[in-house]
Every structure is written in structure tokens, then in C-alpha cells.
Amino acid sequence: MAQKRVFISGIAGFLGSHLADRFLEDGYAVVGCDNMIGGYIDNVPSGVEFHQVDCNDLSRLLPLMAGVDIVYHCAATAYEGLSVFSPHLVTQNIVTAATGIISAAVASRVRRFVLCSSMARYGTNDVPFTEEMVPRPQDPYGIGKWSSELLLQNIAETHGMEWVVAVPHNIIGPRQRYDDPYRNVASIFINLMLQGRQPYIYGDGDQRRCFSFVSDVVEPLCKMATDDSCTSEVINVGPDDRFVTINELAETIARLLDFDLQPVRLAERPREVYLATCSAAKARAILGYEARVELEDGLATMIDWITSRGVRPFEYHLELEIHNQHTPETWSRQLL
């Protein structure tokens, strides 16, 4: 039997690199691309056929899809808050990039396409979010993710490609970019506190989230490659029993680091969803999903990984398109 071939976009990123590890372990040939906006090159596992290619570059994507059975689209400018102030950049790298890789997959007769979406699709729906809810995204990033889902369903069903939409949420763990000032709240807090600096918290800090450790997400996502019960389904992946505030997240990290926490309070960010957690009932029923890693253990693992690599200054590597009174000071004044 020929070796199955999986393609992973965003393979130098956080989730993509962990998926690559798992597929290599399972005996797949793994090929992937990344434009290096948000990843680290040393995230790419040994054994991967890596190409520094942007998902917007269809002509370069097409030859990379030769012989591919399954595509995982993990690449994204996953900047929910920043999308309010750089909507063109974020939309280009969510919607247009998705159409590029979907088109390449269909043209190459890929069997199944797994799109990694975001719980930003749900917006201000009542919590916990369930897959049957009509999405109500509140920012350009969420709008872009939902648009990408609709495009995938339309194009895949027209041309006979199987599709699955995964909705992982608030994933944490090693390999997450921690010198990015625009996203990854847990990594930002850890990088700051390891430098002896206080974290910045927007609003009252009682915004609630559920955080997923990456190994708990990779397992169900990998099952989506072959499980027929996933076909044409949207599936939330993440814990639904660990609803914590941003204040509590900061307090947990400070306790692990024995850090004297006195956070700097800033104005709330526009369009930020206050309560965001998803029901995992469908993932449990279809995929046997289980959240095994507790939040504190996951954060301790992140602290060890960041400590081993060394703290880094924050890199303001993306341009703000809109500057006004609503722009967070952490970005407009580069406070991080």
C-alpha cells in the first residue's frame, strides 16, 4: 500500500508543527508550507518536506499538492483583536489564503480537506457555543473564518472533495510564538513575567475563556483525516469545563513563577467577546475527545519551554492599518 501523504499549511506554526509530529509518527509522508509571518523555523519537525510558500500564491501551491490525500489548513493570521485595526491584512490571510489552498486541493484531487476554524465564528452567541448555532462573528477575523468555512463547503461539494471544519479554541503549549504582541495571551503573560515585567490586562479582566493544551487538540484533529463520521461536519475541539477569567489566568502564571502580580489595567478592546467557551459534546461523541492536561500543568510546560529558549523582546512585525482613539495603547505606543 502506498504511503499516505498529508499536506499541512502553517507547518512552522504552533498547531501545524504538532500535527506534523503526530502524522510522521503514524507513518504518513508530510509536506507543508508556511510564509513565516507567525511561526518559528525550528518548529518544523525533521522529516517534513518544507516549503516557504504563502497560501495566497496558488501557482506555487499547485505542484506541492501532487499525490496529497489529506490537507490540513492551519495557516492563518490568527489575530482576532488586531483584525479590528488591520482588517485588510487579516482578511487577506484568512479568506483569500483559504481560497488559494482549497483551489489547489480540489485541482489536485485531494480526498479530504480539514479546515481549522476558530470559535470567533460564534461571536456573541450564548455560551456554551454549539455547532448548531448560527455564527454571529463580531470582528473581521471571525467574519473571515466563517467566510472560509462557507467557501470550503461550497467549493468542496461542487467538486466532490470531502470536508471537515474543526473549531479548536484557545490552544496553549510549547512552540506558540511568545514574542508576538498581538496574540497568545498566555505566552505574552509568561514572556513578560519572566522578564520581571507586569502584564497588561484589557478591561476588567473578567472576560472568560477555556484553554486547550495542544496535545489534547492534536489527537481528535488527527482522527478527522480518516473518520467517516466527521465528513461534512463542524466540530468544536476544546474543554467545556474549565471556564476561567483572564485575571485568573494571570494569577495562575504568577503563582507558578512566584511573581508579585500587579497588572497594568487598560481600556477594553473594541469588539472583544466577553464570554467564549464551546460545548465539546459533539467531539466527545464522534471522536472520543477528552481534555487530559489541566490548565496549570499546561502553563508549567509552557514556562519550561520559554525559559529553555530564553525570553525575547516583543516584535511589532505587523502594521496597524487604522490608528485612532480605539487602538489599544499596547500596540499604538508599543508598550510591550
> In sequence order, which ranges of the chain are alpha helices (DSSP H)?
14-25, 58-64, 87-91, 97-107, 140-159, 185-194, 214-223, 246-257, 281-287, 295-309, 329-332
Q: What is the CATH number of the domain that holds 313?
A: 3.90.25.10
pLDDT over 70 percentage in the chain = 100
* Per-residue model confidence as pLDDT tens digits over 161-219: 999 999 998 999 999 999 999 999 999 999 999 999 999 999 999 999 999 999 999 99
Residues 250 and 144 in one domain: no
Residue 242 pLDDT exceeds 90: no
| Mean pLDDT within 277-297 | 96
Distance CA 243, CA 230 (A): 26
> pLDDT tens digits, residue range 289-323?
999 999 999 999 999 999 999 999 999 999 999 99
135-155 tens-digit pLDDT: 999 999 999 999 999 999 999
Helix (H/G/I), strand (E/B), else coil: 316: coil
Q: CA 175, CA 83: separation in Å to the nearest integer? A: 23
CATH of the domain at 117: 3.40.50.720
- Chain segment 62-104, per-residue pLDDT in tens: 999 999 999 999 999 999 999 999 999 999 999 999 999 999 9
Q: What are phi and psi of 165, to 5 degrees?
A: -110, 115
pLDDT band at 1 (very low <50, low <70, confident <90, very high): low
Flag whether 284 is in a domain. Answer: no
Residue 118 CA, chain-centre distance (Å), reads: 7
Is there a single domain that holds both residue 221 and residue 270?
A: no
**Checking phi first, is residue 261 left (phi over 0); if not, alpha (psi -120 to 50) or beta?**
beta
Contacts with 21 (C-beta within 8 Å, 6 or more apart), sequence order: 45, 218
Q: Are 234 and 149 in contact (CB under 8 A)?
A: yes
Residue 123 scores a pLDDT above 90: yes
Examine residue 23 and state whether it is found in any structural domain, yes or no: yes
Where does the pLDDT of residue 23 fall: very low under 50, low under 70, confident under 90, or very high at 90 and above?
very high
Q: Report if residue 180 sits inside a domain.
A: no
Q: What's the rounded Cα separation, in Å, for the pair 71 and 31?
A: 10
Give CA–CA dist 247/44, Å, rounded: 33
**Whether residue 202 is found in the same domain as residue 85:** no
How many structural domains are present in the chain? 2
Whether residue 78 is found in the same domain as residue 62: yes
231 and 321, same domain (yes or no): no
| pLDDT score of 315 | 97
Using CA of residue 161, residue 103, residue 19, residue 256, what is the dihedral sign?
negative
Average pLDDT estimate for 277-283:
96
Average pLDDT over the chain, rounded to an integer: 97
Asked whether residue 36 falls in the same domain as residue 93, the answer is yes
Give the residue-averaged pLDDT of 233-247.
Answer: 95
- Report the pLDDT averaged over residues 105-118: 98
d(CA 2, CA 254): 50
136 and 226 belong to one structural domain: yes
Verify that 152 and 27 share a domain, yes or no: yes
Tell me which residue range forms the domain holding 168: 5-172+211-237
Q: Same domain for 19 and 64?
A: yes
| Section 9-21 average pLDDT | 98
Q: Is residue 178 part of a domain?
A: no
Q: Note the pLDDT of residue 166.
A: 98
Residues 122 and 192 in one domain: no
pLDDT of 2 > 90? The answer is no
Q: What percent of the chain has pLDDT over 90?
A: 98
Query: Which pLDDT score, from 0 to 100, does residue 96 have?
Result: 97
Assessment of whether the complete model's pTM goes beyond 0.95: yes
